[in-house]
Structure 1
Amino acid sequence: MYLIFNSNKMFFMFILFFSTLISISSNSWFGCWIGLEINLLSFIPLISNSNNMLSTEASLKYFLTQSIASINFLFSILLKMIFLKNFEYNIIISIMINSSLLMKMGSTPFHFWFPNIMEGLSWFNNFILMSWQKITPMILLSYYFNKNFIIIVIILNSIIGAIGGLNQTSLRKLMTFSSINNLGWMLSSIMISENLWMFFLLIYSFIIGIMCFFFNILNLFYINQLFFFNMNYMIKFFFMVNFLSLGGLPPFIGFFPKWITINFLMMNNYFLLSFILIMMSLIMLFFYIRITYSSFLFNYMKLKWMKFSIKNNYMNMINYLSFFSILSLILSTFSFL
């Protein structure tokens, strides 16, 4: 809420959105690089907070990692201009450009900065980092990608995203590894079509938007806080629905883009890739269910003096947004017919 009434933050938000448009509408690699730099310099004032040492540390780490990725990107596009005629260098240069863009979006094997930075941010900044900040690198990646390299990265993303989240107690780190896993799905969808990727990103952003809004209202940051989750069962129900939707459980809306992606992967004979993505989604669902289990079934831990109260308009907003996840039960029924 602080962001809405702060004109400085709103100014940087505007530049953040504008920089993405500069990158994706540019007709040269150099223009794309300028857009990425503006994006980096507008996001740092949003995440830095002088009252919070963790946020300041996160903004410094973010600046360093993104600067390294930008330098690599600029170096790669300069090499591309020099060796334009020599086709044998093209594979190396494409892998270099891909690597720098993957580092920008926090994909494996360049994901080491991602969980540490997420841990120091507010839920609103986490939401921007998990959704909007993926758009520019992903679209630039679709212009010039090395197919074999991207397939290896997709497999690594899905495996590390699933296994990395198993031993986490922090909800922010859990959402980070969930984002890394979903990045694998997004990369496989952008290999197929840009429209499918846009649809996937829209649904994914919608679901994590609800989750981050939910965690922000209740001020939740760790799994053990859910043991004292003294709320009415309607909120707990919608909380569970959104988590299962994020995991891609069939009746809910989060399954819909994953289902389309699996269909296209199977049509293009990517059977092993589809199998790995589906198996890793099961592990993701395991720790999502562990979170909802904590909030639902630990009734004996309820404390009389620890009662959450949510303003009515917030409560209605969560209900209406979550209703879309359940509405997809009807959509999925029609799509099967």
Structure 2
Amino acid sequence: MFNFFYLFYVLMIFTSLIYKTFFMMWFFMEFSTMMFFFFLNKFNVSINSNIVYFLMQELSSLFMLLSFVMDLNFLTILFVVLKLGGVPFHNWMLKITYNFSWDTLFIILNLQKVIPLIFLYMFMTNKFLFLILLNVFVSMFCMLNVFSNKYLLTVFSLMSLTWFYLIICCSKYLLYLYMCIYMFLNYFFLLYFKLNNDLNMFMFLTFDTFFFILIFNMISFPPSMMFFLKVKLFNCFMFLFNNFFILIFVMMMMILFSIIFFILFLNHFLIISWKKVEMNFLFNFFLLLNLFFFFI
């Protein structure tokens, strides 16, 4: 029964991508949110977190609809950002994700953001550069307060919104491409933590190469596929933003900050034992995927 509802929930999300009208997409978004709330009540024990998430989602959807009807595009974008849990409306998301299971957290940080990001594509322009810069600085500050794996992944999601905002100003094709790669990496990142019994990653006693490559992709460390993808995105940004060099500097500082943050982590796992990794299909596919982005 659960598998049926889950497949139907995913189908609702991706069916909404077919439509280009605001009201149809809004309808599918609300329908998928109601289905997800059913999952929350069934599989998440923290009732307070469930209620907070549901209220924030429904109130932001309601005000987003009213703003669209009143032709207030700026307010519409702000309420979409509220639904995404982006800066400056990020505190509610950071406070409740710690109480969710790993499976629920994957849906919240990935699938639940698909339709709102398409709404941003409909309304957002390069005039909202201040929102992008604000998201960069606040997400870097939040990374300094990381105390758990779930909090870390939520901050990663907050940082990734910066790239989504930028890609939205480029093209829908790049948005879908980045979204698929982001979900792919997030799935294995969450799966690794789930299989390690939710230990803090700084407390891991063993480590494997696959997770090492995942981290390099999450922080866009060369020569990962996320690094090459973001380098190609900069070519697109050059023609969209007047303050291109300021934007490049800020984004490079964010990437550098992420790398410096993980130096402590890298220093940690250089002295712990490494698991022997079998060269299975998944591992080979992941390596080939990174190599593919070097040539495109």
Q: Which amino acid aligns with 1:222?
A: N
Alignment match, 2:165: 187
Matched, 1:125 2:92: no
In the TM superposition, what whole-angstrom CA distance separates every residue of 1:228-279 from its partner, at most 9, and x where no partner exists?
Answer: x2x3xxx522222210111001201221221111121124352211221111
Partners of 1:106 and 1:131 in 2: how far apart? Answer: 12
Matched, 1:109 2:100: no
In the TM superposition, what whole-angstrom CA distance separates every residue of 1:104-123 from its partner, at most 9, and x where no partner exists?
Answer: 22211111221122211121
Partners of 1:111 and 1:259 in 2: how far apart? Answer: 27
- Structure showing greater radius of gyration is 1
Given the superposition, is the C-alpha separation of residues 24 and 278 from structure 1 closer, same or farther in structure 2, using an over 3 Å criterion? same
Alignment match, 1:144: 123
Q: Is the 8 A contact 2:40 2:104 kept in 1?
A: yes
Q: Is the 8 A contact 1:178 1:284 kept in 2?
A: no
1:287 to 256, 261, 282: 261
Matched, 1:178 2:156: yes
195-204 vs 267-276, greater mean Cα deviation: 267-276
Alignment match, 1:13: 6
**1:191-270, aligned counterparts within 5 Å?**
191-226=169-204, 229=205, 231=206, 235-269=207-241, 270=244
Alignment match, 1:61: 52
Q: Which amino acid aligns with 1:135?
A: V
1:45 to 27, 30, 38: 38
1:72 to 63, 66, 90: 63
Given the superposition, is the C-alpha separation of residues 166 and 139 from structure 1 closer, same or farther in structure 2, using an over 3 Å criterion? same
Matched, 1:271 2:227: no
| Structure 2: stretches of 5+ with no match in the other structure | none
In the TM superposition, what whole-angstrom CA distance separates every residue of 1:83-120 from its partner, at most 9, and x where no partner exists?
Answer: xxxxxxxxxx1111111111122211111221122211
Q: Is the 8 A contact 1:245 1:255 kept in 2?
A: yes
How far residue 146 of structure 1 moved from its aligned partner, in angstroms, is 4.4
Alignment match, 1:25: 18
Q: Which amino acid aligns with 1:57?
A: N
Partners of 1:167 and 1:201 in 2: how far apart? Answer: 26
Q: Is the 8 A contact 1:172 1:221 kept in 2?
A: no
2:133 to 134, 155, 159: 155
Given the superposition, is the C-alpha separation of residues 221 and 48 from structure 1 closer, same or farther in structure 2, using an over 3 Å criterion? farther
Partners of 2:116 and 2:3 in 1: how far apart? Answer: 23
Matched, 1:326 2:279: no
Q: Is the 8 A contact 1:98 1:141 kept in 2?
A: yes
Alignment match, 1:94: 73
Aligned residues: 294
Q: Is the 8 A contact 1:157 1:184 kept in 2?
A: yes
Partners of 1:121 and 1:331 in 2: how far apart? Answer: 35
How far residue 45 of structure 1 moved from its aligned partner, in angstroms, is 2.1
How far residue 298 of structure 1 moved from its aligned partner, in angstroms, is 4.7
SS in structure 1 at match of 2:100: coil
How far residue 36 of structure 1 moved from its aligned partner, in angstroms, is 1.7
Q: Is the 8 A contact 2:216 2:224 kept in 1?
A: yes
Query: What RMSD over aligned residues (CA atoms) do the two structures have, in Å?
Result: 2.6
How far residue 64 of structure 1 moved from its aligned partner, in angstroms, is 0.9
| Structure 1: stretches of 5+ with no match in the other structure | 1-6, 81-92, 303-307
Q: Is the 8 A contact 1:236 1:295 kept in 2?
A: no
Q: Which amino acid aligns with 2:236?
A: F
SS in structure 2 at match of 1:297: coil
Q: Is the 8 A contact 1:105 1:134 kept in 2?
A: yes
Q: Percent identity?
A: 25
Q: Which amino acid aligns with 1:73?
A: M
Given the superposition, is the C-alpha separation of residues 76 and 23 from structure 1 closer, same or farther in structure 2, using an over 3 Å criterion? farther
Q: Is the 8 A contact 2:97 2:154 kept in 1?
A: yes
Q: Is the 8 A contact 1:127 1:208 kept in 2?
A: yes
Q: Is the 8 A contact 1:245 1:253 kept in 2?
A: yes
SS in structure 1 at match of 2:27: helix
